[in-house]
A and B are shown apart, each in its own frame.
Chain A
Amino acid sequence: LRRSLPDMQWDIPHIFLTLPISTATIMSVFLSPEFRAIIYFIMAFMMMLTTIFFLKRKYRLSEALKKGIVAAFFTSAVIYAIHADAGWTQWLLNDLKNYGGLSTEEKLGKMDGGLYEFARQAKTIVTEDYQIYSPLHYETKRLEYFLLPLDRREKIPYLREKSKYIIVMADPESRYDAQRRVFTHGGAIITDLDLVLSFPDYYILKKR
């Protein structure tokens, strides 16, 4: 404890810091260690104070302790709740500012940026199962989600090369020669491909 205490940042903004929720997933919500320490202190203090108060009023120690526990529970829980709901309000207000009054498509566009716009246009072009060449895991999965019910082909090379549509997302290994209409990815060479959609980092090729 002695070692960890100096590492804490005892400044007000950090104590009550609420981190924004990442767009990946909600698995845990940040609680600053300083605030946690404060809550532990409040628990101990309230329990001690209430127990002493009831001991002074001639209650048995066990009964006074029970009252101490109840008091410590409600006091610390309500303070925690105020802090947590303040963080929640901050998040809500932020989202109200960012997404209020927008349609679902506009919200998705704002959330996923260029990726959603690319997916939206890709959806009008890609008409059957496709293959994606991309080192980006999240973006690839997100694009797959937007393109549903069309399906991404298995990663087996034979099936890959059979795909009529090839989507490339910021893949440094992929090269497309527009003059020769040839796509290369490592050792794989696919010919007779036309560029049908192009974004700064992403593009779609279609087999003739």
Chain B
Amino acid sequence: MMINVCIAILLPSILGFLLLAIILRKDPATTLGERICLSFPLGAGLVTLQIFFLGLMRIPLTLVSTSVPLFFELILLAVWIGRKSISLVPQKRTEHSLLAEITDPGNGWFKKSAYVVLLIWIGIKILSVFMETGLRPIFAWDAWANWSAGAKIFLNAHSLMLDAATQDFFGKNAVDRNIFYPLHNSLLQLWMSLWLGRFDDTSVKFFSPVYLLCMAVFFYDITSREVGRLYALALLAIVLSSPLLSYHSTEVYSDQMLGVYLLLASASFLKVMRGSTVYCLPAGIFLAEALFIKEEAAFFVIPFLLSVFIYFYKRGRTYANISPLLTPFLALLPWYGLKAYYGLTGMTVFRWNIESTYHFWINSSVISFQPAILGSFLYSMMSLENFNVIFFFFPIMLLASGKASKEILHLLFPVVCYILFFLMLYMFFTGFYSSHSMTLARNMLTCFPTVSLLTAMLLKKLVATHNLQPLRISSTNDA
């Protein structure tokens, strides 16, 4: 069974890796490790979109029908790479490896010990997440009642159940399914199940820790360039210690994987701002995939695109750079077209018209201004629950680091808009902010990796002051 799990994870990874080899062929700065980490999230998103297209075309969703196009694509990409002589392994090795850092005689024993301790800590943590995933079957409410219920139905019906009344699409509201929710999670579980030969409540979850692994290594790679290897390792250990992130990485929730895609999109944009414009396409793909995971991703993606547009507009280069970033969104047209045509929106299924909209949003008790939530929101963000001290220190670091760089501002803008969106949602609509701010924690998990990246960038500014010389106050001493 584990071999099948490995194949189900490896195939999308290979697809992602080959695509990245082509996209990043002129970017030798991206290390092999980074490419491998980007591969699975990229490939998994493409595979689920592909399965959705197959389902839309009423092609039975079997192992053969979902795998054959993938194998065909892999062969096509391999031939292209061979013909164009594109190197799969980047030629340029930028810095010496972490191992070389540990064995470097120039480093003191304390630094070397810190490297070893942090590496062991991180390694054990990631390994333990994989172990825990294998120990427990799906147990969390949203995971089984919504995402897995959908996967089970698709697996059994070999279809997306689109030959039914609108309210019965995607297996209707079986168990606790929301039929207007994006399908990435359920389709990824379907993909795993097709390879497993049945729906297995334990094995089907293994893509979740893989997302964590990809995020962790990529996060380390990108932050080590910001603050150095030691700080990057320490920061990674701190990020991975987030209890909520760890627990979610063992389950088939969508919050953690959305967080990974938002991080990858933000990091890709960071690379674009630093001159690697080839990253426009991966950034666009990750953003489009994020929209296929959870609906609220739109409130990150829209300000993100605005930020990108402003960035390029100020440099007088708009269309040429924006187009590769926007192109991947075309793949989502069938999904949004289907939703718009059949009215699969909002809290219930209804045809989009002024009367029903007015009734639902205005003439019902959904809207209610609750200012007390602002205090509760701020308290939760500062309470250290779930996210270590990252959210507590982030505003402090932002203020202390002085004038924010353009890079930070461009990455910060979508994060702030996203958090404000949730705050407005909680304050103006009833039912979104459950007791003890629990919904907030899950929503914040989706931007936690990106906020952690921004924390690393702020740390870079703060740590850089270490190199400053002490102020020479007394001139008499010099004399």
Q: Is the CB of A99 within 8 A of B175?
A: no
* Interface assignment of A1: CB less than 8 Å from any CB of chain B: no
- What string of 1s and 0s marks CB contacts (under 8 Å) between A68-97 and chain B? 011011101110111011011101100110
Check B139 against A92 for contact (C-beta < 8 Å): no
Least Cβ–Cβ distance between B368 and chain A, in angstroms: 22
**Nearest CB of chain A from residue B363's CB, rounded to whole Å:** 25
- Interface residue stretch chosen among B35-43, B50-58, B233-241, B303-311: B233-241
Decide: B385 and A28 in contact? CB cutoff 8 A. Answer: yes
Which of B139, B248, B401, B468 has the most chain A CB atoms closer than 10 A to its own CB?
Answer: B139
Instruction: For the complex formed, measure the closest distance between the CB of B81 and the CB atoms of chain A, giving whole angstroms.
Output: 39
Binds A, one of B148-156, B182-190, B212-220, B317-325: B148-156
Please measure, in the bound complex, the distance between the C-alpha atom of A111 and the C-alpha atom of B137, giving whole angstroms: 9
Look across to chain A and name the residue whose beta carbon is closest to the beta carbon of B474.
A58
Given A26-B251, A107-B202, A108-B201, is A77 in contact with B388 using a C-beta cutoff of 8 Å? yes
A31 contacts chain B at the CB level, 8 A cutoff: yes
For the complex, what is the distance from the CA of A201 to the CA of B348, rounded to whole Å? Answer: 34
Query: Which residue of A24, A58, A78, A88 contacts B128 across the interface (Cβ within 8 Å)?
Result: A88
A12 — which chain B residues lie within 8 A by C-beta? none
Do A66 and B465 have beta carbons less than 8 Å apart?
A: yes
Report the contact-size class of chain B (Cβ under 8 Å from the partner). Answer: 35 or more
| Inter-subunit contact B389/A77 (CB<8 Å) | yes
B131 within 8 A of A: yes
* A40 to B367 CA separation, bound complex (whole angstroms): 37
- Given contacts A28-B386, A66-B400, A145-B148, is CB(A99)–CB(B243) below 8 Å? no
Q: Are A92 and B388 in contact (CB under 8 A)?
A: no
Q: Which of A67, A73, A85, A100 contacts B393 (CB 8 A)?
A: A73
Query: Is A89 within 8 A of B128, CB to CB?
Result: yes
- Interface check B459, CB cutoff 8 A: yes
Q: Is the CB of A99 within 8 A of B135?
A: yes
Measured CA separation A25–B175 after assembly (Å): 15
Q: Which of A28, A60, A92, A100 contacts B441 (CB 8 A)?
A: A28
Say which one of B8-16, B268-276, B288-296, B431-439 lies at the interface with A.
B431-439
- Against A, the Cβ 8 Å flags (1 = close, 0 = not) of B227-263 are 0000000100110111110111001010000000000
With a cutoff of 8 Å between Cβ atoms, the chain B residues found around residue A36 in the complex are 383-385
Asked if residues A70 and B459 are in contact (CB atoms below 8 Å), the reply is yes
B438 touches A141 (CB 8 A): no
Any chain A CB within 8 A of the CB of B359? no
Query: Min CB distance, B432 to chain A, in Å?
Result: 13
**Does B315 make an interface contact (CB < 8 A)?**
no
A92 touches B128 (CB 8 A): yes
Q: CA separation between A142 and B175, bound complex, in Å?
A: 8
Q: Which residues of A are found within 8 Å of B153, using beta-carbon distances?
A: 148-149
Q: How many Å lie between the Cα of A89 and that of B135 in the bound state?
A: 13
User: Does any Cβ of A come within 8 Å of B200's Cβ?
Assistant: yes
Q: A26-B247, A99-B136 are in contact. Are A70 and B462 (CB under 8 A)?
A: yes
Task: Specify which chain A residues have a CB less than 8 angstroms from the CB of B441 in the assembled complex.
Answer: 27-28
- Residue A59 interfacial (CB < 8 Å): yes
B407 located at the interface, meaning its Cβ lies under 8 Å from any Cβ of chain A in the complex:
no
The residue from A58, A63, A76, A111 contacting B139, defined by CB atoms under 8 A apart? A111
The answer to whether B248 touches A80 (Cβ under 8 A) is no
Counting CB contacts under 8 A, is A57 at the interface?
yes
Say yes or no for A151: interface residue by CB 8 A criterion: yes
Given contacts A58-B471, A70-B463, A88-B243, contact A80 B388 (CB under 8 A): yes
Contact present for A81 and B465 (CB under 8 Å): no
Bound complex: CA A141 to CA B148 (Å): 13
Residues 89-126 of A contacting B (Cβ, < 8 Å): 89, 91-92, 95-96, 99-100, 104, 107-108, 111
Given contacts A24-B140, A81-B241, A85-B241, contact A59 B471 (CB under 8 A): yes
Q: How far is the CB of B455 from chain A (nearest CB, A)?
A: 8
Judge whether B238 and A77 touch: CB under 8 Å.
yes
Q: Which one of A39, A73, A107 contacts B384 once the chains associate, using CB atoms below 8 Å? A: A39
Do B174 and A151 touch (CB < 8 A)? yes
Q: Is the CB of B459 within 8 A of A108?
A: no
Q: Which residues of A contact B390 (CB under 8 A)?
A: 77
> Is A21 in the interface zone, CB < 8 Å from B?
yes
B397 at interface (Cβ–Cβ under 8 A)?
A: yes
Contact with A along B319-359 (1 / 0, CB 8 A): 00000000000000000000000000000000000000000
Cα A75 to Cα B228 in complex, Å, equals: 18
Contact residues, A1-47 vs B (CB, 8 A): 21, 23-31, 36, 39, 43
B374 at interface, CB cutoff 8 A: no
Q: Look across to chain A and name the residue whose beta carbon is closest to the beta carbon of B231.
A: A74
Instruction: Provide the bound-state CA to CA distance between A96 and B132, in Å.
Output: 8
Q: Tell me, in angstroms, the Cα distance from A176 to B389 when the chains sit together.
A: 57
Contacting A at CB under 8 A, from B191-214, are 200-203
Given contacts A36-B384, A63-B465, A66-B462, contact A141 B135 (CB under 8 A): no
> 30 A-B pairs, CB-CB below 8 angstroms?
A27-B442, A28-B386, A39-B384, A59-B470, A65-B400, A66-B465, A67-B465, A69-B393, A69-B397, A70-B463, A72-B393, A73-B397, A74-B238, A76-B389, A77-B390, A80-B384, A80-B389, A81-B241, A82-B241, A85-B125, A95-B132, A95-B135, A99-B135, A104-B200, A141-B175, A145-B145, A145-B149, A148-B156, A149-B174, A151-B172
- Listed in ascending order, the chain B residues whose CB lies under 8 Å from chain A are 121, 125, 128, 131-132, 135-137, 139-142, 144-145, 148-149, 152-153, 156-157, 171-172, 174-176, 200-203, 234, 237-238, 240-244, 246-248, 251, 253, 383-386, 388-390, 393, 396-397, 400-401, 434, 436-439, 441-442, 459, 462-463, 465-466, 468, 470-473
- List 6 additional A-B contacts (Cβ < 8 Å) besides A63-B471, A104-B137: A39-B384, A58-B470, A59-B470, A85-B125, A92-B132, A107-B201
